[in-house]
Amino acid sequence: MFKRKLTALEHHTPDTFNVDDEKQFRSLVLWLEEQKIRHYRVEDREALRQINSDSWPDIFTQYVSDLACPVKTNKKVELLEWLLGHAVRLEYGDNIERYANQTSQDILQNKQNQPKIVSSNPLDNIDFESTDFKNGVNTLAQLLKITPHHNHLITLRAISKLISQRLSSEALENPDSVIPKGTAFPFQTVDEGFDLGDVGVNNATKMLRLLFLHDLRNLQTHINECIVAVQNLTANPKTDTSLGKVGR
């Protein structure tokens, strides 16, 4: 699990390192301090070099404390993960230009090596901001008797909604299921209990309220469908009597 960071730090045995091997663990900590972190002065590293000492765990605890390690645990895996990350950050800080140039070259190389994919979907080749596309959307809106919006993408969304609801194969086979019936709601004459001082604003507010109620109704319909689906699964459970028995 430490191979990538050890390789980045140019450790001599990234492939064979075993964190459960106490000697390897202590040797790696010493190597990080000597070669990469260098938090202590050279003469102050003597205690950390005594990797065979029984007091080394206490010395290591003091070492990570001196580094202001935020990991509040005694697990070697988590402590070593932080130490390696800390060493990588220091190594990068000491060689910013080197790694920055290398990163830019890697990105450029990756882009050059990427295969060019030619899509067979004609929609991928459409310029949705072109004049021809905008004119086509507005022409289609006029055919469907949809009031165009100044943003042609919103108009296209309205066209898509109308086609999916009214011109789908299911809707064409059964038009009565999608065509509203009854008398239109007289929202202009109904008193909603508020007056904003402008007839146009009042009508717009009433329409927004009706749209909100419409969305709530659709939500309730979906909830009811979910309840029915769950009831169909739980109301008639299938049991295998060969798996158990009743009584003793």
| CA angle (217, 152, 128) in 5-degree steps | 115
pLDDT tens, residue by residue, 114-141: 666 666 677 777 888 888 999 999 999 9
Q: What pLDDT, on a 0 to 100 scale, did the predictor assign at position 109?
A: 61
Q: What is the mean pLDDT of the chain?
A: 83
pTM assigned to the model: 0.42
Q: Where are the chain's structural domains?
A: 3-113, 128-181, 183-233
- Three-state DSSP at 136 gives helix
CB contact at 8 A, 19 and 76? yes
| Other residues' Cβ atoms within 10 Å of the Cβ of residue 2 | 18
CB 5 within 8 A of CB 88: yes
- Map tokens 């009706």 to a residue: 210
